[in-house]
């Protein structure tokens, strides 16, 4: 009986050794996967395919007026709390053989205010066809105390929007078969 109780004590005192907890420092990738947090890339370059797919028409195929909006997967990336939430490309109207394209990225930030530089480009087969850049663009909330008081020197949040008049035949040729058409966005933090 004495040996049985010793065996019992030895067996149960050895169990904690077999089931010990280990701890380690997780990698940023592991943290992002576990929490669903966006990936930090700064400056942030996004390229969005504009070619027609099974689920989406190309901007050249849309009626006038017509809109093309992309928001899937964009919020996975962040640049110092600034994010591109969605991008809209509107085929707004036609006039004298030209089409008015309006590109508008929707930007958000985790800060009250943040100044960013934003570049939007339409790229066809690696060549920049249209481009617009905003420097020191203020993004953020309109609910801050300074904005509510209308204090002098405070900046207000602005939504970037560019208008490009494009010859209709150019637009059709850009979206022709075999062409790779992308909308490129570059988001940089103003230092």
Q: Other CB atoms closer than 10 Å to residue 20's CB: what's the count? A: 6
Query: Could you tell me if 142 and 157 are in contact, meaning their C-beta atoms sit under 8 angstroms apart?
Result: yes
- Which pLDDT score is estimated for 183? 92
Smallest Cα–Cα separation from 130: which of 159, 99, 158?
Answer: 99
**Which residue numbers in the chain have pLDDT < 50?**
none
pTM given for the model: 0.74
Rounded CA Rg of the chain:
26
Domain boundary assignment for the chain? 27-189
Query: Could you tell me if 156 and 139 are in contact, meaning their C-beta atoms sit under 8 angstroms apart?
Result: no
Class of domain 27-189: mainly beta
CA angle 142, 48, 119 (to 5 degrees): 50
Handedness of CA 90, 129, 163, 186 (dihedral sign): positive
**Dmax (CA) of the chain:** 104
Give the 3-state secondary structure of 49-95.
ECCCCCCCCCHHHCCCCEEEEECCCHHHEEECCEEEEEEEEEEEEEE
Rounded Cα distance, 111 and 108, in Å: 9
DSSP 8-class letter at 188 = E
Rounded Cα distance, 45 and 79, in Å: 10
Query: Could you tell me if 189 and 110 are in contact, meaning their C-beta atoms sit under 8 angstroms apart?
Result: no
């Amino acid at each position: 009986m004495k040996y049985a109780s010793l065996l019992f004590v030895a067996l149960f005192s050895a169990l904690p050794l077999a089931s010990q907890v280990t701890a380690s420092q997780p990698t940023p990738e592991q943290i992002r996967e576990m929490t669903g947090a966006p990936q930090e890339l700064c400056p942030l370059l996004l390229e969005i395919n504009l070619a027609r797919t099974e689920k989406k028409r190309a901007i050249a195929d849309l009626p006038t007026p017509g809109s093309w909006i992309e928001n899937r997967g964009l919020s996975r990336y962040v640049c110092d709390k600034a994010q591109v939430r969605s991008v809209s490309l509107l085929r707004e109207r036609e006039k004298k053989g030209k089409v008015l394209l309006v590109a508008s990225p929707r930007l958000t930030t985790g800060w009250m205010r943040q100044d960013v530089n934003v570049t939007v480009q339409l790229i066809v087969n690696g060549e920049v066809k249209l481009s617009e850049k905003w420097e020191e663009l203020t993004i953020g909330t309109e609910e801050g105390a300074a904005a509510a008081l209308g204090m002098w020197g405070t900046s207000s949040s602005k939504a970037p929007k560019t208008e490009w008049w494009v010859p209709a035949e150019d637009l059709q040729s850009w979206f022709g078969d075999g062409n790779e058409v992308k909308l490129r966005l570059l988001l940089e933090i103003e230092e």
